[in-house]
A and B are shown apart, each in its own frame.
Chain A
Amino acid sequence: MNSLPVVLIYLFIAFADIISMLKKKEKRQVIVYIMVMIIPLTLSINIAVGTDIPSIASVTRKLFEAILSMIQEIG
């Protein structure tokens, strides 16, 4: 239920943008727009639902610490 307002907001934004694109007969733009819009929509639903997503800082930290320790071992 938490994600319903999120979906509605996204639909409203997308509708407003797509209408102006369709008026100009830019169908390819509409397809790309919808494809890109799916990324924030998925993220927003996950955030709204409360899915445990690791932060970018923690992911990059793990990655870079491993690389740096490997470099140190080689050095």
Chain B
Amino acid sequence: MMNKEIISNKQGITLMMLFIFGSTLVLGTGGEAKKDVWLAKIIGIILAIPVSMMYAKLLSMFEGKDIFDISKLAFGSFLGNIINLLCIWFALHIAALVLFSFSEFVGIVGLDKTPRVVFMGSLMFLCAWGAKEGIEVLGRWSEILLIFLIFIVFMTSTLSIPNFKFSNLLPVLQDGIKPVLKGAFSAFTFPFTETVIFTMVFSCEKDKKSLYKIYILGLLIAGFVLVITALRNILVLGSYMMSMAYYPSFNAVARINIGYFLQRLESASSIIFLISGFAQISVSLLGASKGISKLFNFKDYRFIVVPTALIVLNLGFLVSKDIIELTKWNLEIFPYYGLIFELVLPSLIYICAKIRYKKINTMDNSEEM
């Protein structure tokens, strides 16, 4: 049983946006830049545009094929499968990281005595269900849920206006350009080029421009929302409080108090985390499941979703000891770690595929004849 799953450009963009939001909306990124974090994010978006275009170009070069098929075509079966294993690992790791962040967040801000396996297991069950239903269902789901998420982000940002201190933003570039560039590098790898996972999920059909649209518009709109939230957080909290907080968005929203009537809106942050975290885990799970099934030359991936989800659930316990270790790891190690999977490997596949492109095309045409 193998159905061709097709999603519209709008669904692709919304899914891409939710994926980019992932854990970033709550955890924050580019913290090295401190009060210039908004600038670091803008530079990160600009740096991510050519990389996203490379992902789209890579997929549009081979009709109906994803990165697993392309790497096999470019490197041959053996080397291609080794590269595919690395891609599968990255997808599993990203899913586990989001799952861990989510369970730590719920454990810290709310249910501190509940065993972590309860939140992780329930979320993973839903994600496995979503991944099993396929990209079409996830696309339709994201189209509906994104509206709520955007509404929450803009509502909380608007209601935070009375707490804004514009002196928190000034002076711009107080510590020079170096921390901003470090923050931009950090934002580039987490979350803007994590979208490499979509190369495992998407494949290009007749309209080759649609992939570019999905990648670029998804990146730009999600990036704009992330810049807005970063500005809100820095204006409300200031650089010192922001560097101390593990969940800056949660802390910034918690300060909203309009006439002692509109307050305690931080639960809205939890809803944001749940929606975007679900999307990111589901897409990563889908990518990893597709990769594993292709490793064993299966066309259908659905039968392997449950074991893959269980791997993610277990990795969720092993990614890090606690949120302190994870935050340090995200700042110091992830930019280099992510670069391998998000830039080096796709570039290698792209260059090799480009070189062998004509050869592969002629081989495919002769097979069809």
Contact = CB atoms under 8 A, between A and B. Distances in A.
Interface of A: 10, 13, 17, 21, 26, 28-29, 32-33, 36-37, 39-41, 43-44, 47, 53, 55-58, 60-61, 64-65, 67-68
Given A36-B311, A37-B310, A39-B311, 4 more contacts: A10-B310, A32-B296, A56-B315, A56-B318
Given A55-B325, A61-B329, A33 B307 contact: yes
B314 A40 contact: yes
Given A64-B333, A64-B336, A64-B337, A21 B303 contact: yes
Nearest to B314: A43
Interface of A is mostly: helix
B319 interface: yes
A57 B326 CA distance: 7
B251 interface: no
A55 B310 contact: no
B336 A68 contact: yes
20 contacts: A10-B310, A26-B303, A33-B307, A36-B304, A37-B307, A40-B314, A41-B310, A43-B314, A43-B318, A44-B314, A47-B314, A53-B318, A55-B321, A56-B93, A56-B318, A57-B319, A57-B325, A60-B333, A64-B333, A65-B333
A39 B318 contact: no
A68 B334 CA distance: 13
B322 to A, nearest CB: 9
Contacts, number: 76
B57 to A, nearest CB: 29
A57 B336 contact: no
A36 to B, nearest CB: 4
Contacts of B315: 43, 56
Interface of B is mostly: helix
B308 interface: yes
Interface in B218-233: none
Nearest to A46: B314
Nearest to A67: B336
Nearest to A10: B310
Contacts of B293: 32
B182 to A, nearest CB: 14
A33 to B, nearest CB: 6
Contact of B310 (A21, A28, A40, A68): A40
**Contact count band on B:** 20 to 34
B292 interface: yes
Contacts of A29: 298, 303
A8 B252 CA distance: 44
- Looking at B304, B307, B326, B332, the one whose CB has the most chain A CB atoms below 10 A away is B307
Contacts of A57: 319-321, 325-326, 329, 333
Contact of A40 (B307, B319, B336): B307
Nearest to A56: B319
A47 B306 contact: no
Contacts of A13: 306, 310
B159 to A, nearest CB: 36
B116 to A, nearest CB: 11
A11 B84 CA distance: 29
A32 B298 CA distance: 10
Nearest to A40: B310
Contact of A61 (B93, B310, B333): B333
B317 interface: yes
Nearest to A61: B333
B315 to A, nearest CB: 7
A2 B12 CA distance: 44
A56 B321 CA distance: 9
